Amino acid sequence: MGMQITVNGRALSVAADEETPLLYVLRNEAGCKGVRYGCGLGQCGSCTVIIDGKPVQSCDVPVSAVAGKSITTVEGIGSMDEPHPLQRAFVDEQAAQCGYCATGIIMSAKALLDVNASPSDAEIKAALSKNLCRCGTHQRILRAVKRAAIEMRK
């Protein structure tokens, strides 16, 4: 059974079973390797994408639930030549040590900044509460999100 989904503004015909986690479809059929498998339980945030403006853990969502919705992955917000302000801020602040969690954190932060251009520290922490980082760069991550917020307001 085939279904249509929209990933990073591009229509994609999916042949996967309806209950296949969106994460697998994004990585294997859409080629979005920035969406990472972490826990597989929707608890670590490594697989976070934005679906219709909301951050969602893609390992916990069947692909059938996103038909007709807009899905944005880290590949859809910037490139090496033209990085998104969040991507640039993560590099400038050295916010990613191992980098495994960074794409999910960036997507959660983007969803926040899309609706709140000037978040407080508490609002940033709340928005990132579903994203785990074991490297201990939390203060750098916070600085990167604040730096990107300033850049995006310009």
- Percent of the chain's residues with pLDDT above 70: 99
User: What would the pLDDT profile of 44-78 be if each residue is shown by its tens digit?
Assistant: 999 999 999 999 999 999 999 999 899 999 999 99
- The closest of 80, 81, 140, 79 to 105, measured between CA atoms, is 140
In the predicted structure, residue 1 carries a pLDDT above the cut 60: no
Higher pLDDT, 42 or 2: 42
Residue range 85-153, CATH number: 1.10.150.120
In the predicted structure, residue 18 carries a pLDDT above the cut 80: yes
- What CATH topology corresponds to 3-76? Ubiquitin-like (UB roll) (3.10.20)
b/e burial code for range 78-113 (CB count within 10 A of at least 16 → b): beeeeebbbbbbbeebebbeeebbbbbbbbbbbbbb
Mean pLDDT of 134-151: 95
Decide if 3-76 and 85-153 have a common fold: no
Q: In the chain, where are the structural domains located? A: 3-76, 85-153
Q: How many residues does the chain have?
A: 154
Mean pLDDT of 12-32: 96
